[in-house]
Amino acid sequence: MTMDELERAIMELPLEEPPDGLRASILLATAYHRPVPAFSLHEVAVFGTLGAVALWLIVLLVSGGGSLFVHTLSAISSVVLRSFSNVAFVSWLAAGSAAALWLTLLTGSHPIAALSHRSDRQDAR
């Protein structure tokens, strides 16, 4: 079979009509789709908290000098050290971390896999 015969055979194949609303659904999914925000609410909260803590440390260092800054860091580190030396706190922290890891790894909570099925949800409209 030559290329000309193959092209003729392909052109003679019967074509189905596209389903109703195909163009509109394609436009809704692409051109008219609202952009997704760059950061989720949780990420903005974390960034805001880190920025506030950094600003607080900078103001503390500038206004009180080095000694106040060192005493504040000492107080913070003593509270953290006291918390992690408590057996009950460490036990609950380990149990929560293990549960979160188990749920993430074994239940199939993969954000990249969830993004690939976005078109399935739009068909339900």
pLDDT digits (tens, 9 = 90+) for 18-36: 888 888 888 888 877 777 7
- What's residue 124's pLDDT? 47
d(CA 5, CA 12): 11
Do 47 and 77 sit in the same domain of this protein?
A: yes
| Range(s) of the domain holding residue 106 | 87-117
Q: Where are the alpha helices (DSSP H) in 3-124?
A: 3-11, 22-29, 41-84, 87-106, 111-115, 118-123
Same-domain check for residues 98 and 81? no
Global pTM value? 0.36
The answer to the question of residue 29 being in a domain is: no
Q: How many domains does the chain have?
A: 2
Q: Mind listing the pLDDT tens digit for each residue in 54-110?
A: 998 888 777 777 777 778 788 989 998 998 898 999 999 999 999 988 888 877 655
Query: Among 1-10, 33-42, 78-87, where is mean pLDDT lowest?
Result: 33-42
